[in-house]
Amino acid sequence: MTHRIFIVEFRLQNEMLICNMIIPPYLKKGDTIGIVCPAGFMEKSKVETCIETLKSWGYKVVIGKTVGNQFNYFSGSDKERLTDLQTMLDDKNINAILCGRGGYGLSRIIDSIDFRAFKKNPKWLIGYSDITLLHSHINNQLKTATIHSPMAAAFNDDGYKNEFVLSLQKAIKGNKANYSCNTNSFNKTGKTTAELVGGNLCMIAHAVGTKSYYNTKNKILFIEDIGEYIYNIDRMLIQLKRSGLLENLVGLIVGGFTDLKDTTTPFGKSAYEIIKEHTNEYNYPVCYNFPVGHQTKNLALKIGVQYTLNVDAKKVSLKEL
């Protein structure tokens, strides 16, 4: 199956910019989705509802060897996880790869992944959390779009019926997203159009200084996180700021920051207050509490695709072009 080059011209800050991004083929009924766990361990039973739902959507499903496999914390040894992901990437009969879960582990194998077959036959790579490293690596090195979205566990407990899992169904079919959310007192109003990049804040900071980092110049960045100490949110924002990743943005979307921890002596600020402090000097629009992150409210976002972000006094909208 051939892929296409998605070329968009848009005006930004009185300059004409041209973005070249490879958009993998969208899925049609009868196509095959592979499920793989390239990081943390996941019980096979937690994938069953996802499998049945994908089949009900009209897709065939192939299960990787790492699903239900365990090696300490991981879904297999580094070699097993690398081999399973590589098999999915190389198989021409697999049209998209859905990661079962995130956790931790991709940075242990990212430099050993061979993307030569993927470059010839790009396919949608889907997931979030630790999967952010794959998103940023593919965005930077291969200029290919991916999808940040709910993973296999999100289908459980009737999750397959909610609008957030269904947003993944729409995304892989090629439907253009048009999302909106409520305003927030921390928001900074404005309107911008650019390529969207982002994901888990910890993983974005983790990639700085490597070939997997996001080039955020003239882009809209979205960030989210879970389980971090509040002081570490501050440290990671400083890392992004010192690395120049914040000053060159044209827009910022702040998603959920859930299950955060504080030290015995409180840090004294919330995550949103920290983000606002470190971005206050910039003129681009910023929205807070956008439905993306480690939570039920986790909309599918196509990384590498053009969106218009509009933050006004009444509503926030994010529209795919």
Provide the annotated active-site residues: 129, 224, 294
Whether 110 contacts 137, CB under 8 Å: yes
Q: How far is CA 143 from CA 76, 119, 314, in A?
A: 29, 10, 35
Q: DSSP code of 71?
A: B
Q: Amino acid identity, residue 259? A: D
List the structure tokens of 241. Answer: 């700021």
Strand boundaries in 45-132, DSSP class E: 60-63, 96-99, 124-126
Tell me the C-alpha distance between 222 and 244, whole Å: 16
Tell me the C-alpha distance between 239 and 245, whole Å: 9
Whether 114 contacts 51, CB under 8 Å: no
Whether 251 contacts 309, CB under 8 Å: yes
Q: How far is CA 70 from CA 73, 105, 109, in A?
A: 7, 13, 16
Whether 44 contacts 70, CB under 8 Å: no
The contacts of residue 201 (CB under 8 Å, 6+ apart) are: 223, 224, 225, 228, 233, 236, 237
